[in-house]
Amino acid sequence: MGVNVAVVGVTGAVGTEMLKVLERRAFPVETLRPLASSRSAGKDVVFRKEKVAIQELREDSFEGIDIALFSAGGDISKKFVPHAVKSNCVVVDNTSAFRMDEEVPLVVPEVNSYKIADHKGIIANPNCSTIQLVLVLKPLHDTVKIKRVVVSTYQAVSGAGLIAIEELKKETESLLDKRKNYERNVFPHQIAFNILPQIPQSNAFMQNGYTEEEMKMIMETKKILDDPSFRITTTTVRVPVFRCHSESVNIETQSKISVDETRDLLSRAEGLVVLDDPTRQLYPLASTAIGKDDTFVGRIREDESLENGLNLWIVSDNLLKGAALNAVQIAEKLLDTVSG
C-alpha cells in the first residue's frame, strides 16, 4: 500500500538526501509532495527519474499526506508541524523544536524503536552527533553500565547547511589565491584551515558556558538512553571538512570490559561497523564514511588513567545516519507499527 509523503525543506542539504534515501530504500511512496519556501516553489526535484514540482509550504500543505519529513529549521517546524498534525499527518522532525518535549519520542531506530508507538503525531530525529554516539553507547551501557562519558566532536560544515559548504569552498579558494577580501556570512571566524569550538555559529553560548549543540547532545543522550542521571559532558567543534562528523569518546564503565570484548560487542550491534586494526592503520575516516549508511567505530583502546576506561573514535555521515537516513528509518518503523 502506498504512502503519501511530504518533504519539508526539500532544497536543503538534508532534504536533498531525504529524497535520495526514500528512493534508494524503496520506501512505498505513492505521492511525493516536495515543500519549500516561495523562492523555490515551481522549481523541480527529481524523484524516481521523474520531475516533481516543488510547492510552497503553507498551513494547508498537508491535506492527504500520511507522513511528513521536516528539515527546514526549528522555527519552521514550530510553525507548521502543528498544522500537519491537525491534518492527521505523522511528522518526523529533523530539528530541535520538539526533541525535549516529554510527549514526543526521540528515536534512533537501532536503539529505541519501541518509542515510536508512543507518538502523538510527532516523532523527533535526534541531533546528528547524538545519533552516532548513542549507537555506540547503548550496547556498552546495557552490558557493563556506563558511569561517565566525555565527548569531543569534530563536525563537518555541512551540519550548518549548503551555505556553510559554499563558505568553506570560497574561503579556501580565497586564501589559496592569497585574496584577503573574502566576506564570510556563516561562521564568526575563518573556517578554512581553522577549527572553531563553537556550534552553532551564532548565539551559541549559554549561561553555563556550554554551546547549544553541547547541551543538545547531553540532554538528548539522557532521553534516548532513558536515564536522566546519565553522566556525560561534551565539547563540540567545527572543522574544515565538508561532510561526516567524527567524535573522540572517553567512557568510564562500572565493570571491566576488554578491548577485544568491546570490539566483539560493537561488531554485533546493528548499524555499527568496527574498523580497528592499528597494525594496518585501519580506523574510521570522514573521507571514507561519505555516503555510507553505517556508523564506524575504531581506535578502541583502554584508558590507562582509569580502572575501567575506554577510548573510542566514531565517524558517521551527518547527512545520512545523522539526519536523512535516520528519519526515513523512523518512517519505515512507523509503517511496521501500523501494519503490525
Integer Cα distance of 94 and 187 in angstroms? 22
Contact 308, 253 (CB under 8 A): yes
Task: State whether residue 319 is helix, strand or coil.
Answer: coil
Helix (H) or strand (E) holding 316: strand 309-316
Q: Which of 83, 89, 119, 128 is catalytic?
A: 128
Grid coordinates given for 217: 547532545
The residue annotated as part of the active site, out of 83, 119, 141, 245, is 245
Output DSSP code: residue 125.
P
Nearest to 110 by CA among 132, 135, 130: 135
Q: Whose grid coordinates read 575563518?
A: 190
Alpha-carbon span 76 to 210, nearest angstrom: 25
Establish whether the linkage from the previous residue to 200 is cis, with ω within 30° of 0: yes
| DSSP for residue 309 | E
* Pick from 50, 45, 68, 48: nearest CA to 58: 68
Query: Is 83 annotated as catalytic?
Result: no
Q: Could you tell me the CA-to-CA distances from 307 to 151, 238, 255 in Å, in that order? A: 19, 32, 9
User: Which of 276, 281, 261 has its CA nearest to residue 314?
Assistant: 276
Whose cell is 553541547? That residue is 214
Identify how many contiguous H helices and E strands the chain contains and give both numbers. 9, 14
| C-alpha to C-alpha distance for 317 and 156, rounded to whole angstroms | 9
DSSP string, 46-93: EETTEEEE-EE--TTTTTT-SEEEE-S-HHHHHHHHHHHHHTTPEEEE
Catalytic residues: 128, 245
